């Protein structure tokens, strides 16, 4: 049975993911994305009116994918952090897109591009765990999630961290787990 061809929008997003992860919003080339997606620039712009719209959609798709793939338990933030670290280590383009967005001052994509309901559910779960006394309430939910996320991303922003000894991945995950455990006491 012949394979169904990948729709143009999906091919464009896949090519954009690679290009934006490598070069960021400012450095990415629309003609490169179109060529890699086997689509014309006109077809690309029929789906995404601007380069920024394409970046937002690419970032949003990346975020939604890991939001859906990584179960969240506010009562086990250390475990969630380790699972998120594992995901980003296996999908480095996701980490790079997040970092490029930060470098270039891009805010989290708007509702409709990112599933803000999932983000809100995580915030609310943290608030509930704080109210129940399971995790510290000295920080707002967003502050706590940002600190946890920062601990996870530390390995991706530290020069030469990817060139550490064999077994480094498991050790890093353990370090993230321990650091988050200390953070949430």
High-pLDDT (> 90) share of the chain, %: 73
CATH class for the region spanning 59-184? mainly alpha
Rounded to an integer, the average pLDDT of 36-44 is 94
Q: Is the pLDDT of residue 166 over 90?
A: no
Give the tens place of pLDDT for each residue, 12-22.
999 999 999 99
Q: Is the pLDDT of residue 115 over 90?
A: no
Sign of the CA dihedral 41, 95, 117, 83?
Answer: positive
pTM for this one? Answer: 0.86
Residue owning tokens 């970046």:
55
């Amino acid at each position: 049975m012949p394979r169904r061809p990948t729709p143009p929008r999906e091919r464009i997003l896949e090519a954009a993911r690679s290009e934006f992860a490598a070069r960021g919003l400012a450095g990415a080339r629309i003609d490169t994305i179109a060529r890699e997606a086997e689509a014309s620039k006109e077809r690309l712009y029929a789906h995404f009116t601007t380069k920024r719209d394409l970046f937002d959609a690419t970032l949003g798709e990346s975020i939604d994918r890991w939001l859906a793939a990584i179960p969240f338990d506010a009562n086990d933030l250390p475990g969630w952090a380790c699972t998120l670290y594992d995901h980003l280590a296996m999908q480095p383009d996701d980490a790079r897109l997040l970092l490029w967005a930060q470098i270039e001052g891009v805010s989290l994509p708007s509702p409709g591009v990112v599933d803000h309901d999932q983000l809100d559910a995580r915030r609310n779960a943290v608030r509930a765990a704080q109210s129940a006394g399971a995790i510290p309430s000295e920080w707002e939910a967003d502050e706590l999630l940002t600190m946890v996320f920062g601990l996870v991303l530390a390995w991706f922003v530290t020069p030469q961290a990817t060139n550490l000894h064999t077994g480094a991945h498991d050790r890093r995950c353990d370090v993230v787990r321990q650091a988050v455990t200390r953070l949430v006491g």
